[in-house]
Amino acid sequence: MATGKTGSVLIVDDESDVLFALKMLLKTEVKEVVTEKNPDNLLSLLSKQKFDAIFLDMNFKSALNTGNEGIFWLRQILEKDKDATVILITAYGDVELAVKSLKQGAYDFIVKPWHNDKLLETLHNALQAKNGKKNGKATIATQHTTILGQSEALQETLHKIEKIAPTEANVLILGENGTGKELVARALHEKSFRANKPFISVDMGALTDSLFESELFGYKKGAFTDAREDRPGRFEAANGGTLFLDEIGNISPAMQAKLLTVLQNRQVTPLGSNTPVPVDIRLISATNEPIYELAAKNLFRKDLIYRINTVEITLPPLRQRHGDIELLVKHFAEIYAQKNHKPVPELAPTTLQKLNQHSWPGNVRELQHAVERAIILAEGNVLQPQDFSFSPMEMATIAAPTIPAFAADAGMPLSEIERETIRRVIEKNKGNISKAAKELGLTRTALYRRLNKYDI
Ligand SMILES: Nc1ncnc2c1ncn2[C@@H]1O[C@H](COP(=O)(O)OP(=O)(O)OP(=O)(O)O)[C@@H](O)[C@H]1O
């Protein structure tokens, strides 16, 4: 009798009730369900048979009840088969540990007591991801954000976002400029239980040591000359919601120490006050700096990294995920065609070739601006390779030039001088926008506005 069902699942749990209930449920969905009570038999089982998904208990009663046993077995499974799809079964109180297990390579986790529908959805997603990893298409769309990506790397990121958004885990997002770190931070917030509370973003790269405390912790009237009234800091503004500390890798050791204290105590003391104010925030941080290298050189505190990186999301540069380029170009083409009252253009095959060959030092942001320019410049309804011209940031990442001093001509318009100055400072800083902004005395946002304005 053909049932049409496919797939095989292994369940490892030392509670017979759990094994029985899960088996009954999963049998309705997949062709084969194998159960195992003793994790010691796991590896020999896996030597004999491959499973499409493995449900693994986090807490075996026989051992220390810390959940680490689940992590131990997870590691064993992944050592044997790095592509194994492991879904952890965890008790309600262990969610933070389960979130950590995602870092160790678990596909997902379910919390006991589970909802059957939710569990089947998890299995379904796992099986789909396994079968469709190569050519899936993924999108996360919330009220204010759309994240697109069909590359394997982006799909994994999107899955992780769905998983960790509803937890309280602190998240550290790593990636080059323009890879979508802020977008991911916003999506995490919007998919969290804090979604209707504030999302406060702070550009740490733009904060000087002297502004750090007043900006983050606030101040009382009279705390310093210009403090004409009480002002809450960003921590208080984010109370109940999410605080996004962007460019956290750029802060000085003194700021790192102050930040660590606040995160440990979960309270801030405004300048000019003696009374600490408790704050309830979910922390998301991001940086384009190689933060672990900085920590190895003692330039960034390791204890601060451990505070902020309960879960890590690494966004690969666009040049390493060509699979996303076409999707993103079409997405931005639609947006900018509409904005500029033009029909949505087609993409010539040679154009896509050119875009795939470009190294995208400014990542998705650069692509977004390139598409906008192309739409404005395009003659017909097909985007041609010549409609795309690339920014000098490209050159800056290839060579680290010593730039001759820039001498403005007497008759040069001011806007041209500004454009050229910005261009050179970016080149000098090898495309690092934060450093360039600092050198120019601008915030990164202000610099990005000028890049757009001057078509850099
Ligand atoms: N996967 C994606 N799908 C759709 N849009 C994206 C994606 N990734 C990035 N973008 C867009 O690219 C632009 C840059 O993204 P974002 O500001 O989040 O990058 P970032 O990594 O925070 O940059 P920076 O480090 O310079 O602050 C934004 O307009 C964002 O909406």
DSSP string for residues in 45-76: HHHH---SEEEEES--TTS-TTSHHHHHHHHH
Under 8 Å CB-to-CB from 323, ≥6 apart: which residues?
149, 150, 151, 152, 154
Q: How confident is the model at residue 401 (pLDDT cuts 50, 70, 90)?
A: very low
What does the alpha-carbon distance between residue 296 and residue 301 come to, in Å, rounded to a whole number?
Answer: 9
SS3 321: coil
What the block records as the tokens of 156 is 């994994």
Please name every residue paired with 245 in a beta bridge, in sequence order, or none if there are none. Answer: 202, 285
Report the CATH fold assignment for 318-390: Helicase, Ruva Protein; domain 3 (1.10.8)
Question: Looking at residues 386-415, what average pLDDT do you find?
Answer: 54
d(CA 136, CA 205): 36
Say what the pLDDT of residue 453 is. 76
pLDDT bucket at 395, cuts 50 / 70 / 90 = very low
Comparing 2 with 29, which gets the higher pLDDT?
Answer: 29
Supply the pLDDT for residue 396: 44
pLDDT tens string 225-261? 787 888 899 999 999 999 999 999 989 999 999 999 9
pLDDT value, residue 45: 92
Ramachandran region of residue 386, left (φ > 0), alpha (ψ -120 to 50) or beta?
A: alpha
Superfamily of domain 8-132 in CATH is Response regulator (3.40.50.2300)
By percentage, how much of the chain surpasses pLDDT 90? 46
Alpha-carbon distance of 442 to 95, in angstroms, equals: 42
Give the separation between CA 295 and CA 289, rounded to whole angstroms: 11
**For a pocket test of ligand 1, which of 151, 320, 365, 426 has the largest count of ligand atoms closer than 8 A to its C-beta?**
365
Note the pLDDT of residue 71: 85
ipTM value: 0.98
pLDDT in tens, 150-175: 888 888 888 889 889 999 999 999 99
Is pTM beyond 0.90 here? no
Which three-class secondary structure state does DSSP give residue 26?
Answer: helix
293 membership: H or E segment, kind and range: helix 291-296
**Residues in the ligand 1 pocket, defined by CB under 6 Å:** 146-149, 175, 177-183, 246, 288, 328, 364-365, 368, 433
Kind and range of the H or E run holding 415: helix 414-428
Which one is predicted more confidently, 103 or 369? 369
Of residues 380 and 395, which shows the higher confidence score? 380
Report CA-CA distances (Å) from 423 to 369, 413, 429, 454, 455. 16, 16, 10, 10, 10
Residue nearest to atom 25 of ligand 1 (CA): 177
Nearest atom (ligand 1) to Cα of 148: 3
Residue 10 has pLDDT above 90, yes or no: yes
Instruction: At 383, list the tokens.
Output: 């985007």
Could you check whether 8-132 and 151-315 share the same CATH topology? yes
Q: Which of 147, 173, 182, 247 to mutate to test the pocket of ligand 1 (most atoms within 8 A of CB)?
A: 182
Tell me, in angstroms, the distance from the centre of ligand 1 to residue 433's CA.
Answer: 14
Residue with tokens 């993409």: 347
| CATH number belonging to the domain at 151-315, selected among 3.40.50.300, 3.40.605.10, 3.40.140.10, 3.30.365.10 | 3.40.50.300
Coil/strand/helix, residue 129:
helix
In this structure, how many other beta carbons lie within 10 angstroms of the beta carbon of residue 265? Answer: 12
Q: Where are the domains of the chain?
A: 8-132, 151-315, 318-390, 394-453
SS3 218: strand
Give the pLDDT score at 427.
83
pLDDT tens by residue, 258-286: 999 999 999 999 999 999 999 999 999 99
* CATH class of the region 394-453: mainly alpha
Which of 118, 198, 132 is closest to 163 using CA atoms?
118
